[in-house]
Amino acid sequence: MEVIPAIDLRAGRCVRLTQGDYDRETVFSDDPVEVAKRWESEGAARIHVVDLDGAREGRPVNDSVVREIIAAVEPPVQVAGGVRTLDAMQGWLDAGADRVVLGTAAVRDPELARQAAQQHLGRVVVSVDARGGMVAVEGWREQTKLHATMFLQTLAAMGVPRFVYTDIDRDAMLESPNYEMVQTMVAATDKPVIAAGGVASVDQLARLAGTGVEGAIVGLALYDGRVNLREAIAATS
C-alpha cells in the first residue's frame, strides 16, 4: 500500500482544515515546496497536492505553487482542487502532474469524467468525498443526495480507472479511518481505491492496508508528528 503525504494549499501556504471547514485552519508552513522536498527525502513514492482555494473557487488558484512543487520533486504528484474542465486537467498534465483528481466536476458532469478517462488513460482519479455516506461537493461545503457507493459504481462503469474515498467527518480529526466504509468502497469496484481521512497512527495505516486499498493519503498526523513517514512506509510495504 502506498502511503501518500498530502500537501493542502491555501493562500500559497501549507495548511490543514478540520473536516474541510475553511474557518478551522492550521498553518504548517509558508513554504510548501520545502514540505514536498521533506516528504521526498523521507521516502514518499507519491505526493497528493490539493488546491483548497481552487476547490472553493472552481478554478486553479494556487497553480504557481503547485507547478513549483511538481518541478522540485522526483516522486509523481497527483493534483486536486478546482479541476472542473478538460482544459484544466490538460493544463496540469502538461505541467507535469502524474494524475489529476476530479471531484465536484465528476458529480456535476459524469460525462466529463468519462471523456477525461478516455483521453488520459490511467491518469484520472475521481474523488468520492462523503459525509455520512453521502457525496459532498464545492470544497465539501455542499451536500448532495448521491450515495457514495452508488456514485463510485456509476463512474467505474463509465471507465474511471481510480478513486479516492475521503470520509469528511474523520478528516483531520485524528481518531481513526472509517474502516467499514473503506471496505465497502473497495468491495464495490474492481478499480483501485485510495483512502483518506482520519489516520492517526502507523498501526491504523497497517490496518488500512488490510482492507485492500491501493494507498492511504495522510495529512495532519504527519505534520504533528504522530506518524513518521519512513516507519509508515515500512509498516505497509
Which residues are catalytically annotated? 8, 129
Could you tell me which residues come within 8 angstroms of residue 148 by beta carbon, excluding any fewer than 6 positions away? 128, 130, 133, 134, 135, 165, 181, 185
Q: Which of 11, 38, 76 is nearest to 223 (CA)?
A: 38
Pick left, alpha or beta for residue 13 (phi over 0 → left; psi -120 to 50 → alpha; otherwise beta).
beta
Q: How far is the C-alpha of 155 from the C-alpha of 117, rounded, in Å?
A: 10
Q: How far is the C-alpha of 222 from the C-alpha of 145, rounded, in Å?
A: 33
CB 7 within 8 A of CB 47: yes
